[in-house]
Chains A and B, each alone.
Chain A
Amino acid sequence: MSAVIESHDHDHHHGPAKGLTRWLFTTNHKDIGTLYLWFSFLMFLVGGAMAMVIRAELFQPGMQIVQPEFYNQMLTLHGLIMIFGAVMPAFVGLANWLVPMMVGAPDMALPRMNNLSFWILPFAFFVLLSSLFMEGGAPNFGWTFYAPLSTTYAPPSVTFFIFSVHIMGASSIMGAINVIVTIMNMRAPGMTLMKMPLFVWSWLITAYLLIAVMPVLAGAVTMMLMDIHFGTSFFNAAGGGDPVLFQHVFWFFGHPEVYIMILPAFGITSHIISTFSRKPLFGYSSMVWAMASIAILSFVVWAHHMFTVGMPLAAELFFMWATMLIAVPTGVKVFNWVATMFKGSITYETPMLFAIAFVVLFTIGGFSGLMLAITPADFQYHDTYFVVAHFHYVLVPGAIFSIMAAVYYWIPKWTGNMYDERLGRLHFWLSFVSVNVTFFPQHWIGLAGMPRRYPDYALQFADWNMVSTAGAFAFGLSQILFLFIVLKTVRGGKKATSQVWEGAEGLEWTVDSPPAYHTFTTPPKVS
């Protein structure tokens, strides 16, 4: 469908409504997917700006730019915004765009609730960010908000933080229920579970994790609220509670949460590597089982985040071994990606570059995770920049690279236009180099003993911090290029065919680029 035809499409039964209300009242999975993706990009810039404040302060030892109190607020909001505002909504946006088209459904199963899940988010982040202007400042206790920092010693804005987490959770739960019901109930005839595209599988498992752990997070913040304002003593040992209880409840949510942010990335990577290797994915069913195993194991490894808190020896051992077990299904996945590329006719378009970088750099992040899983070693690494390097490796060149890969891979389908390949590759190489310059040196300064979460540091860490800050600003600026490429593609470009990529397979590649406003109003037959 050309842009000319689309602009004459006034038939409201088939095309979108006009004006702003289209976006406010929409029930269309494609519109809502677009809203999620733009919202996520906006939050990525906001959270990124906060990261720039942090890195600017760390450019040199000593206090340079901001007050330590404000530094703490930036640190906290950067984490919360990137996790709940950027990465999670981006994946939900991709699920909205892709899951119905991949399973041959007319839309998400519960379209109005879908709109509600999205529109809660801008309000939730408005509440969270408004705390910056409140008396006592924004939350300053780190994104993990450990008690008693977040209870006894918290600024008054913690109440607003708690309620914003509540409605973010409500949004996530509704979004996840929608995805799960769509996958379970809306598949085209003939699409059995083991014929589902891997992105759909990854989201089925992710949605299950979300429904299982977001309520636990709600429980954790509710206990905080009660401790702060209503005299309970969940996290206060003087009343018989335990601050460590907070960490247990939080990480029971928190560990599955980190897989919520990586499982959809596994799905995306599987699609892209298979397409650009022009080979079917190696080991489809083992991919499914690996993701399911990772999800199940994620419920029994939470205390590896708290080895130094003083747990009984049996617990330290159990959580160490259970954590290491996760390396097995993860290794299966990495093996399968490499085996898919083996003897393939590979071309290196931008999505493939991001996907390969994902495999390599996510594996590095996985290995540092294994190092952290070793309890006695963790006593040295805990709360150092090594941990910061570890989780940024799995989240930035992990989750975020996969999101970028997905955008490059599917944007011709969404807009009907090819992106500028030359600029796409430039964006990739700038991001790839700068992300490593930013985060790789943090491994070294972490192992040398630089603690995380401080605005100042000892002189011996100065050189690598300077390098890291330079990398961070380069990475941040590279994303402006990404914005430019996306806008350019939305506005025009070489027309995309239906299949877009030579090796692409799946139902979404059988419809027009861009697809009609409503696709698959009658389900296709899948053989």
Chain B
Amino acid sequence: MEYQKYYVPEQSKFPIFAATSMFLLVMGAASTINSLGTESNTGKYILWSGLAAMATTLFFWFKKVIQEHLAGLDSAQLKKSFVFGMAWFIFSEVMFFAAFFGALFYVRSFAVPWLGGEGEKGLANMLWPDFESSWPLMSTPDDGAAYTLPEKNLSFPGFSHLLTWLPLWNTIVLLSSSVTVHFAHLALKAGNKSTFNLWLGVTVLLALTFVGLQAAEYYEAYAHYGLTLNSGIYGSTFFMLTGFHGFHVMLGGFMLAVMLIRSIFYNHFEPEDHFGFEAASWYWHFVDVVWVMLFLFVYIL
């Protein structure tokens, strides 16, 4: 086989713009957070300018990569680099969630039982002798002295309430979306663009539905259950895990929406050549698997 030249762009302005935007972003975010509760707006201006600069840079960067691809600059080998790159990026995301799942397992298996006087390090109970361990944790060891205790939690309410239990519907929505995105992929491989657009559109709608339901759940938790970030370790792990997942759903949904726009308005993607879409769909399946883990360990068990 003859060697196809590996495309190395000569010089590029995108990375330095991206790095500068990232700098504005973190300076802005840190200043904003440090001046929470004050009148200062400087941090917010820096943060928003960083976000805008980042979005603009990424838009033009991706645009350029797509143009290079359409111009036929990508060899088969370069496409493989994108495939490997995406796979390892998803692995890094897996490890990010692993940190939070690890924290959840640790507090449930060790920290909370020890504080309640159970297990080998149960002498921790002498800190707050009245505390009894339970999960979901409805009362903090300090009995709400520094925290606002929740009245209700979002764990599995029993089979009699199954159909009115929001997380179940979230699960159904997200699992179906994984199936629909797969149908879209099959249609694309069969060369059936309109079916592809249809299934991809359905997937994006399901993503929006999920985010909507999640927002409703958060509203419910904050407004009626008294369950907040400040409710002790149950609230902390609940909101951080579901929150980061929700954020990833938005990101994945946005990626799929971009693919839909590219397909409808620009007629991108060929039956044999559509890694942009494939990468987004991999990401989507990853987000789906994380949800299954969440459903199991945050909601049911």
Q: Give the interface of A toward B (CB within 8 A).
A: 12-13, 17, 21-22, 24-28, 105-107, 109-113, 115-116, 119-120, 123, 126-127, 156, 159-160, 162-164, 166-167, 170, 173, 176-178, 180-181, 184-186, 211-216, 218-220, 222-223, 225-226, 229-234, 236-242, 244-245, 248-249, 252, 310-313, 518, 521-523
Contacts and interface: CB of A to CB of B under 8 A. Distances in A.
B246 interface: no
- Interface core residue of B10, B61, B235 (most chain A CB under 10 Å): B10
A231 B110 contact: no
Contact of B81 (A170, A181, A218, A226): A181
Nearest to A245: B106
B98 interface: yes
B63 interface: no
Interface residues of B, number: 72
A147 B11 CA distance: 44
A238 B36 contact: no
A229 B145 CA distance: 18
Contacts of A113: 15, 85
Given A240-B111, A248-B102, A232 B240 contact: yes
A111 B103 CA distance: 36
15 contacts: A12-B10, A24-B13, A24-B16, A25-B11, A27-B9, A112-B12, A164-B26, A211-B88, A218-B96, A229-B36, A232-B236, A234-B236, A237-B141, A240-B111, A240-B141
Contacts of A238: 128, 140-142, 145-147
Closest 10 pairs (CB-CB, A-B): A219-B99, A231-B230, A240-B233, A232-B236, A215-B96, A116-B15, A242-B111, A163-B26, A119-B19, A115-B15
A223 B101 CA distance: 12
Given A166-B26, A167-B26, A219-B99, A211 B107 contact: no
Given A160-B26, A186-B81, 18 more contacts: A22-B11, A27-B9, A27-B12, A116-B14, A119-B16, A119-B19, A123-B20, A123-B22, A177-B92, A186-B6, A213-B95, A215-B93, A218-B96, A219-B98, A219-B103, A245-B111, A252-B102, A523-B3
Interface string B64-92: 00000000000001001100110011011
Interface of B: 3, 5-6, 8-16, 18-20, 22-23, 26-27, 29-30, 33-34, 36, 61, 77, 80-81, 84-85, 88-89, 91-93, 95-96, 98-100, 102-103, 106-107, 110-112, 115, 119-121, 124, 127-128, 137, 140-142, 145-147, 228-230, 232-237, 239-240
A181 B85 contact: yes
A22 B16 CA distance: 12
A115 B16 CA distance: 8
Contact of B13 (A25, A177, A230): A25
A303 to B, nearest CB: 12
Nearest to B5: A521
Given A27-B11, A231-B228, A240-B140, A522 B26 contact: no
A334 to B, nearest CB: 31
Given A24-B16, A212-B91, A239 B5 contact: no
A106 B78 CA distance: 12
Contact of B84 (A25, A181, A312, A523): A181
Contacts of B18: 116
A176 B107 CA distance: 31
B84 A180 contact: yes
A186 B80 CA distance: 10
Contacts of A110: 81, 85
Nearest to B110: A242
B103 A112 contact: no
Nearest to A170: B22
A219 B100 contact: yes
Given A211-B95, A214-B92, A242-B111, A233 B33 contact: no
A27 B22 CA distance: 19
A240 B6 contact: no
A312 B121 contact: yes
Contacts of A111: 8-9, 12
A156 B34 contact: yes
Contacts of B137: 240
Contacts of B92: 173, 177, 211-212, 214-215
A26 B11 contact: yes
Given A185-B81, A216-B96, A180 B29 contact: no
A162 B140 CA distance: 27
B180 to A, nearest CB: 29
Contacts of A105: 6
Contacts of B27: 127, 160, 163
Contacts of A177: 85, 88-89, 92
A61 to B, nearest CB: 37
A233 B233 contact: yes
A409 B80 CA distance: 33
A492 B103 CA distance: 55
B292 to A, nearest CB: 20
A119 B15 contact: yes
A218 B98 CA distance: 11
Contacts of A244: 111
Contact of B147 (A22, A24, A233, A234): A233
A518 B124 CA distance: 62
Contacts of A215: 92-93, 95-96, 98-99
B88 A181 contact: yes
Contact of A240 (B80, B91, B234): B234
A215 B98 CA distance: 9
Nearest to A173: B92
B26 A240 contact: no
Nearest to A32: B15
Contact of B80 (A12, A162, A166, A185): A185
B16 A233 contact: no
Nearest to B94: A215
Contacts of B84: 109, 180-181, 184-185
B26 A241 contact: no
- Interface core residue of B26, B121, B145 (most chain A CB under 10 Å): B26
